[in-house]
Structure 1
Amino acid sequence: MRMSDFLVRELGRRQVVLFFLLATMLYILPLILADFPYIDDNWRSLAAGDAWAGQGRLFMDWLYKALTFTGAAPNIFPLPLLTATLAMALALTRLTFHYFPEPTLTSCLVPLPLWYNPFLLQNLSYQYDGPGMALSLVAVIYAITFGGSTRIQRWLVPSVLLALAIGLYQISLNVFLGLCGVELLRHVHRGAPWSELRRLAGWKLAQLVLGISIYAVTAYPFTNATRTELLSYSADPLLQIGTRIAWVAEKVALLFHGGYSTVFVVLMACALIGGAGFVRQIRLRNEPPAKRWLLGGICLLMVPLIVLLLPGMTLLFRDFNEGARTLMGFGVLLLLLFYLAYLGLVPLHRRLPLILAVPLLATLSLSFAYGRVLTMEKTLANSALHSLSHDIASHRELREAKRIYMSVTYSDRWLAGATGTFKQLPVLRYLLNIDYFMLAENLPSAGITNVVAERERRNATRVGYQGFPALVDSLYYRIYLIGDYGFIVMKEPPHGRLLQW
């Protein structure tokens, strides 16, 4: 068989599973090779702690109790991530057959952006939280694609799956809503009558309401009150929402730099071709012009709504989380563009949709670049740990101090070794989101147990401003000793010279 024939022939379910298994594993390979404990992983690994229930993510607690056969969460990375990736490969296979009953290799490229979402890299960086976030995506995909044999199954099972997804990670609700929009567009494209479209909208709305209701009586009661406070109506909420949308747009724009801008422009052009075909399909419907215009307006409205779901529900809460891990909806936007591009390119030539492999390869390249940045950050963290532990262990006064307080100085200049990479791929700095030199939770791994956690860092910060003589004066920090208490005060990272090699 010629290679060109293989690219366009129908694939069986086993072949599609193998394709997605290879593709999904490739995407997480850099994270596994880096093996870097990311932010919260440090204290969770130290205490084998869970504490997800208070964040409204009760099912994360259950997940780790099931995976570790304990009542807590000892670190078993990368087993949870590998398990979640296998589940994602099966879910993407299901979604592919849902969209394309007779899939080809090019068809398999369409749903892959849900996993090859550049901002999802920050989610997957968490050795503890990442697998749960991935499984929430899996649950959403199964909720969208489930088609039971009875009405009660079609109503109840997707709702339970949606509640499970929200209980693993609430942001997955944005993905569910976005995929519902894609589902509506898919039915319009295949010429579904108005009665079927109304029935589809009704089913999805019922599943949404019931899913949130199930979550409300299971996981939500355990949530800390501070995490559920909404925007205050007395503080101009529309202005706050507008500011947040602008902030998210600024961060998303970091992705489109250099060749990535060209790739996205080409993808948009291909999607516009598919959009033109979409308009033609609506015009060919045997309906009054008013109904066709209404349907066209609804379909057109889906695009800005899916764009709005990038931050989605986070816009409504008082404490706005600006991290890249909240932008899971970007994967749905990419899937929509891929779907429209596929519809536009297939009529032109059946092998033309292979163009969609280019943005996927660009994202895969970004994943490997991010993996190298994590490795650099790991090298810096190990160096910092060695330096601090040596200075503390070599001074008897510090070893015997009742408590050592550590300050945290935030800066974007700590990781000097990645300066060139950040310049070429500015989105990587946003994805990394580490702007500190050291966390107190790292020191127990070197046998230093009298350094307190970050929440008490203000004690050290005050000492740093009062001009006491330093017991240790290093490149990145000073250590003070006052009575039986030590204080680690971080310095501002040196600006240094422009790195030229």
Structure 2
Amino acid sequence: MGRFSDFFSKELGRRQVWLFFLLATFVYVVPLILADYPYIDDNWRSLSAAAGSAWAEQGRLFTELFYNLLTFSNAAPNIFPLPLLIASLAMAAALTSLTFHYYPQPTIACCLVPLPLWYNPFFLQNLSYQYDGPAMALSVVAVIYAITIRPPSRIQQWLVPSFLVALAIGLYQVSFNVFLGLCCLEVLRGANDKLAWPKWCELIGWKIAQAFLGCLIYAVSAYPFTQQNRTLLLNWAAEPLLQLHVNIARVLEKVVLLFHGGFAWVFAGLLLCAIAGAVRLGLNVVARQDSTANKMLIGLICVLALPVVTLLVSGMALFFRDFNEGARTLMGFAVLLVLLFYLSHLALARIHQRLPLLLMVPLLAMLSLSYAYGRVLTVQKAFAASALLSLEHDIASNRQLLEAKRIYMSVTYSDHWLRGAAGSFKQMPVLHYLLNIDFFMLAENLPKVGITNVVAEKERRNATRVGYQGYPPVVENLYYRIYLLGDYGFIVMKEPAPIKALHW
């Protein structure tokens, strides 16, 4: 019993820390690997002639190069889960580096502090993409190394982190929020560790310079390939502050979905510990051997760093005209969690060296969410397979539909398609937000079963629902009707009934 107890308080070597993170990162993604569900964009990427490309025009040139290198081709055939396993290995190494950067003599409790960079609940949506997920994870790896790497020469200290920042942005632009958030944490750490005033100011200057130079390198390397419609910012002539307020409110509305039931109590406890840690950090600032003016300025910057990290939950995405409120854009939430963990560790370690092990509780909550989400993905996979086979049977068994020039599939969104996960959605509302699938079927799926004449209704949107329902359908079932007019068919989705509460 004594040896087991000592394991949680003894200093760990680099190999032991790496093995801990290797196990922790792998355990978190096991549900996604077992589900093996092609998530939204994965369908058209795997079927496109270029097999998964088109990242360069999205400003993610390095993602395209990553898959070109990994598949030894000019395209990107689906090789899941190999990219995710590679990303998990890289993340384990990066988290090891970050742990030793924060704590030169780490214990198991110290290893828990940076783990939310991987155990971010909203990051589950990023990792759901079999193509994009690993590249998004590698962008976080690049950001972490941009923080921890310490080249020997001064010019390399400028260039190497900046190139890593540019690499991260070229893999997934939103990871820049993670870099800025970790820079804020560096500023807080410097203040807590009583870094000398000139060194502390130099640290801030270095981080600003690295961020600027990283963006500059990205601007001359990957950005020129980007489609211009993806880079439009808010309309500054039409009340931009109001637009920002609306965007922030939408993000807050989604984040609140996480704090339901037991999760609310767990994170309330974490927040209380973090507040105690913030007080401890403030006392360390007051105890510095500095002038009053310097201490006040340090305190002010530390106080401002907290709302900045909070704002970086969505960060740069808030300023784009085509605002995306999807969970995959909330990568900055991971840094907010790391900040709460860091401050909580400060408070708990002050009381007793083993108390920081309580940070396992929120981590276990996030791990359980990962497995609940994996089960929802499995249910969604079964539902999607059933829907695909139903459509394939109905079209293939009708010669006129099979030989139609084109069949338009109407786009009908609803929260009630996936009835099999109703209980999970009720207990964990964030699961529905993470899944982000509110449609019956994607037209891109049908070529998998040999049906190639179905396309999603775009310019003809809702024409089927308005103009053709006066005709008798050639097919009607629980979820849709299929109409045929001459050489053209129309698949009209039925609005599913709300899911009733289950009583036993």
Measure, in 2, the Cα distance between the counterparts of 1:247 and 1:4. 45
Aligned pairs (5 A) from 1:52-451: 52-451=55-454
CA–CA separation in structure 1 for the residues paired with 2:192 and 2:245 = 33
AA at the equivalent of 2:184: G
Aligned residues of 1:120 and 1:324 also touching (Cα < 8 A): yes
Counterpart of 1:500 in 2: which secondary structure?
Answer: coil
Q: Does 2:19 match 1:18?
A: yes
Structure 1 distance, partners of 2:293, 2:363, is 39
Contact residue 26 and residue 88 of structure 2 kept, 8 A: yes
Equivalent AA in structure 2 for residue 287 of structure 1: D
User: What is the letter of the counterpart of residue 480 of structure 2?
Assistant: Y
Q: How far has the Cα of 1:497 moved from its partner?
A: 4.5
For residues 497 and 253 of structure 1, do their structure 2 counterparts lie closer, same or farther at Cα, with a shift above 3 Å needed? closer
Residue 8 of structure 1 contacts residue 351 of structure 1 at CA under 8 Å; is this kept in 2?
yes
Structure 2: tracts of 5 or more residues without a match: none
Once residues 423 and 413 of structure 2 are traced to their aligned partners in structure 1, the CA distance between those partners, rounded to angstroms, is 20
Alpha-carbon contact 2:411-2:462 (below 8 Å) kept:
no
Greater displacement, 450-459 / 27-36: 450-459
SS in structure 2 at match of 1:23: helix
- The aligned amino acid for 1:155 is W
The answer as to whether partners of 1:464 and 1:489 remain within 8 angstroms in 2 is no
Deviation at 1:495, TM superposition (A): 3.1
Distance 1:42 1:187 in 2: 46
User: Aligned partners of 2:65 and 2:281: how far apart in 1?
Assistant: 44
Task: Report the Cα distance in structure 2 between the residues aligned to 1:436 and 1:459, rounded to whole angstroms.
Answer: 14
TM-score by length of 2: 0.98
1:450 and 1:290 map into 2 onto residues whose CA distance is 72
For residues 41-62 of structure 1, the C-alpha deviation after alignment (integer angstroms, 9 at most, x for no partner) is 0000112131011111011110
Once the two structures are TM-superposed, the CA of residue 357 in structure 1 deviates from its matched residue by 0.3
In the TM superposition, what is the alpha-carbon distance from 1:408 to its structure 2 partner? 1.5
Report the 3-state secondary structure (helix = DSSP H, G, I; strand = E; otherwise coil) of the residue aligned with 2:490: strand
Moved more, 129-138 or 290-299: 290-299
- Sequence identity percentage: 67
Deviations 1:121-148 (A, max 9, x none): 0000000000000000000000011111
Q: Distance in 2 between matches of 1:251 and 1:87?
A: 30
Q: CA deviation at 1:156?
A: 0.3
Q: SS where residue 51 of structure 1 aligns?
A: coil
Kindly state the Cα deviation for residue 429 of structure 1 after the two structures are TM-superposed: 0.6
Distance in 2 between residues matched to 1:496 and 1:364, nearest whole Å: 27
Distance in 1 (CA, whole Å) between partners of 2:201 and 2:121 is 34
* Residue of structure 2 in register with 1:34 after alignment: 35
Asked if the contact 1:160–1:211 (Cα under 8 Å) also holds between the matched residues in 2, the reply is: yes
CA distance in 1, matches of 2:322, 2:73: 33
C-alpha distance in 1 between matches for 2:500 and 2:282 = 56
Q: Could you list the per-position Cα deviations for residues 168-188 of structure 1 after superposition, in whole angstroms to 9, with x for gaps in the alignment?
A: 000000000000000011111
CA contact (8 A) 1:181 1:302 kept: yes
Does the 8 A contact of 1:11 with 1:104 survive in 2? yes
Code of the aligned partner of 1:16: V
**1:289 offset after TM fit, Å?**
2.1
| Cα distance, 1:125–1:464 mapped onto 2, change above 3 Å | farther
Matched to 2:33, the amino acid is I
- Report the alpha carbon displacement of residue 494 of structure 1 after superposing the two structures with TM: 2.3
The 10-residue stretch of structure 1 (138-147 or 282-291) with the greater mean CA deviation from structure 2: 282-291
Write the distance in 2 (CA, Å) between the matches of 1:455 and 1:68. 33
Taking the aligned partners of 2:367 and 2:460, their CA distance within structure 1 comes to 39
Distance of 2:183 and 2:239 partners within structure 1: 30
Matching of residue 493 in structure 1 with residue 493 in structure 2? no
Does structure 2 retain, via aligned residues, the 8 Å contact 1:374–1:432?
A: yes
Structure 1 residue 455: deviation in Å? 3.6
Number of residue-to-residue matches in the alignment: 501
| Partner SS state of residue 234, structure 1 | coil
Which segment drifts farther, 408-417 or 272-281?
272-281
Query: Counterparts of 2:439 and 2:460 in 1: how far apart (Å)?
Result: 13
Letter in 2 for 1:41: D
In structure 1, distance between residues paired with 2:56 and 2:477: 41
Q: Deviations over 1:377-407 (max 9, x none)?
A: 1111011001110000111111111111111
Q: What is the distance in 2 between the residues matched to 1:266 and 1:460?
A: 52
Q: 1:39 Cα shift?
A: 0.4
CA apart distance, 1:280: 1.1
- Name 2:46's counterpart in structure 1: 45
2:6 alignment partner in structure 1: 5
TM-score normalised according to structure 1 size: 0.98
Alpha-carbon distance in 2 for matches of 1:21, 1:66: 24
The SS at the match of 1:361 is helix
CA contact (8 A) 2:275 2:343 kept: yes
For the Cα contact (< 8 Å) 2:197–2:294, is it kept in 1?
no
CA RMSD, Structure 1 to Structure 2 (Å)? 1.2
Residues 373, 418 of structure 1: 8 Å contact kept: yes
Per-residue displacement from partner, 1:173-223 (whole Å, max 9, x unpaired)? 000000000001111111111100111111111111111011001110011
Equivalent position amino acid for 1:12 in 2? G
Structure 1: unaligned runs, 5 residues or longer = none
